[in-house]
A and B are shown apart, each in its own frame.
Chain A
Amino acid sequence: MDFLIFQVPMLTVQAVLDGLLLGILFALIAYGMALQWGVMNIINIAQGDLVILGGYIAYFMYLYGIHPAWGVIVSPIIMYFVGVIIYKLVINKVVDRDLFISILATFGISILFMQLMNFAFGADVVLANSGYGTTMLFDNSVTLPNSKIFSAFISIVFAIGLVIYMKKSKLGRAIRATAQNARAAKILGVDTEKVYAATFGINAALCGVAGALISITFTIHPYMGLPYTIRSFMIVIVAGLGNLPGVAMSGMGLGVFEEFADYILGTEFRIGSVFLLLVLILVYRRFKLSRKREYLK
């Protein structure tokens, strides 16, 4: 085989490191997905579009001369309110209904967002230049942009912060109670409507952080949302709901897989391979479960 990656073994290290740093970002998005899936039992196809919207907030700060790293603070605050508004307008009507209804409704939101972003920000591929420079490792054979390290670090900080918040704070406890049993929580005086709105807001805020980091590290484009949704869905079904270490691990695994697919199959098949991997994982799980006469629930 004459693939470049096998001729230059150092590229393997490069791909693994890139993949791990990228995977942490995916895990952050997937965490939001798992949160809303577990608490509200909806699957949000617009997840990726929220990410991209968060990225554009950071990009605009960059355009107006503010350092885009501040987007990590500003973007989640704005996105929280965007999330709450989406919840009030649409999501609260689909929460206790068929999952397919929520998939279709959020698909509609996704199309809406894509096009609105296309109008507002144009169809160009953009990135917010952070000017962080790069780090060279192993005798200059492996290049790591500092922005990637920065984004992985920030993701970990936010993830740990959120875990602590969910454990300790009053709202966090209310969210966990609602996830366990919404009816019982309601009886015990939890305002589930508020909890749902807050959950969706927190999810959107996480997307905002991830988006801001993506706009610094990679590029963003109005139509790039769906792959992020699929990635986070995939991570959640591999890890399972409420399994945070699992989400982090499978996120990083996916990141490494993508980097290798990029090197071996070529960049034009990168997104396709992600979608195919989703299909393969689902089919694998299906056959594994069907031996026990069960199916994915």
Chain B
Amino acid sequence: MNKNIILYAGILIFGIVAPFIFPAFKVQLSILCILIILAITWNVQGGEMGYNTFGNILFYGLGMYLCASVQVGMFFPLAEWTEGGGEKTFVHTPAQFFQGFGVGLAVAAVVPAIIAGLIGYSILGLRGHYFAICTLGLGVAAGEISGGIEIIGAGQGFTTPPFPNVDRLEARGEFFYFCSFIVLIFTFLAVKAIYSTRFKLVLNAIRDNEDKAEAMGIQTMKYKIIGWMISAFFCGLAGGIMGGLVGYIDSTDVAFDGREMGVFMVLMAILGGKGTLWGPVIGATVFHIFKEGFWTFFLGWQYVALGVLIVVIVIYFPEGIMGWLREKYPERFGEVVDEADRKAQVQLK
């Protein structure tokens, strides 16, 4: 237990100090936080509940658009803003900016969760690969449709309000970094708290055998919807922050980017280990370091590398890092291991 407290304190201190030690990496660190949030939310859905989704990008993109629209719409006419050049004529004062961003984030979190609750009853009745393909369809449809809606910029994109002029040059990066870091801590603690309740056991029961769980008297649909709503809530938050950080929202390339973010979250959770608390965190960190470290060497071949990476991870490494560690050091995961039994197993292989 003591070790854990030291670990958490270490991460917390590192998180607070990091942007001042590595000022050049502030944006990368913020993106890392967002990626970890997305991986954790995907894991609630795909890892614990066993409902592998490609569609959480829907809530991410929705949160992004909602946050930016609220931030603009609270003070200025939205249509004129997106029509082009609006961001030059209307200028947010610092107070307006932060107020709008705060309200926008709240909306960006709550509305996707409500939408998840509304569509959950219909969509979550599908199982296995039907659910996966259906959510894939949802994500792409959202991207295509939002690309045709005029008031949020249609095909030409939506410029989010520029950060207000405050005296410090570094303020923008620090603001978004701490936003994403605080949301990350909030997400992690919330998910950790959820994982220590009966709720997680129900989700695992649904993953392992939904028919039996239902036969045992669990109202699986209720739990599935709640699980999806939790996932959507944090996805929306992450999307809202990412929208402000990127500064420009495009329907298919930034918001509903199934080819990048939508795949990344699945990949990160699987790389780290599905169905563990720390797996997505480790997976996202490793993935982000790999991505940023090596992407530059590929120069345009990133997607080729990404495709190969997906295939390799899925085929050769489906248990992820945590699964591998668990197989190697089962004692550390609280499993009682009979030494003779383990040796016999090794020989069998």
Contacting residues, chain B, for A108 (C-beta < 8 A): 306-311, 314
Contacting residue for B129 out of A99, A112, A279, CB 8 A = A99
B310 in contact with A107 (CB, 8 Å):
yes
Interface segment among A130-138, A148-156, A280-288: the answer is: A280-288
Tell me, in angstroms, the Cα distance from A287 to B125 when the chains sit together.
8
Tell me, in angstroms, the Cα distance from A296 to B263 when the chains sit together.
25
A residues 201-239 with Cβ under 8 Å of B? 226, 230, 233, 237
Q: Is B301 close to A, CB under 8 A?
A: yes
B304 in contact with A283 (CB, 8 Å):
no
- Closest Cβ neighbor of B311 among chain A residues: A108
Tell me, in angstroms, the Cα distance from A197 to B342 when the chains sit together.
38
Q: Is the interface of B mostly helix, strand, loop or mixed?
A: helix
B213 to chain A, nearest CB (A): 14
Contacting residues, chain A, for B129 (C-beta < 8 A): 43, 99-100, 103
Q: Is A189 close to B, CB under 8 A?
A: no
Q: Is B179 close to A, CB under 8 A?
A: no
- Closest Cβ neighbor of B309 among chain A residues: A108
B132 in contact with A295 (CB, 8 Å):
no
A272 in contact with B144 (CB, 8 Å):
yes
Q: Is A10 close to B, CB under 8 A?
A: no
Interface segment among A17-25, A73-81, A113-121, A249-257: the answer is: A113-121
A278 in contact with B132 (CB, 8 Å):
no
A291 to chain B, nearest CB (A): 11
- Closest Cβ neighbor of A276 among chain B residues: B141
Contacting residues, chain B, for A269 (C-beta < 8 A): 144-145, 148
- Closest Cβ neighbor of A101 among chain B residues: B314
Residue from B52, B132, B311 having most chain A Cβ neighbours under 10 A: B311
Q: Is B111 close to A, CB under 8 A?
A: no
Contacting residues, chain B, for A268 (C-beta < 8 A): 144, 147-148, 155
B127 in contact with A111 (CB, 8 Å):
no
Tell me, in angstroms, the Cα distance from A43 to B123 when the chains sit together.
19
Contacting residues, chain B, for A43 (C-beta < 8 A): 129, 133
B315 in contact with A105 (CB, 8 Å):
yes
Contacting residues, chain B, for A115 (C-beta < 8 A): 301-304, 307
Give per-residue flags for B293-324: 1 if the beta carbon is below 8 A from chain A beta carbons, else 0: 00000001111101111110011001000000
B120 to chain A, nearest CB (A): 11
Give per-residue flags for B189-225: 1 if the beta carbon is below 8 A from chain A beta carbons, else 0: 0000000000000000000000000000000000000
With contacts A112-B303, A115-B301 taken as known, whether A266 is within 8 angstroms of B148 at the C-beta atoms is yes
B147 in contact with A226 (CB, 8 Å):
no
Q: Is A141 close to B, CB under 8 A?
A: no
With contacts A94-B315, A104-B314, A286-B122 taken as known, whether A109 is within 8 angstroms of B140 at the C-beta atoms is no
- 9 example contacts (A-B, Cβ-Cβ < 8 A) are as follows A107-B263, A111-B306, A114-B259, A114-B303, A119-B304, A272-B144, A272-B147, A276-B137, A295-B126
**Closest 6 CB pairs between A and B?**
A112-B307, A108-B310, A272-B144, A275-B141, A115-B303, A111-B307
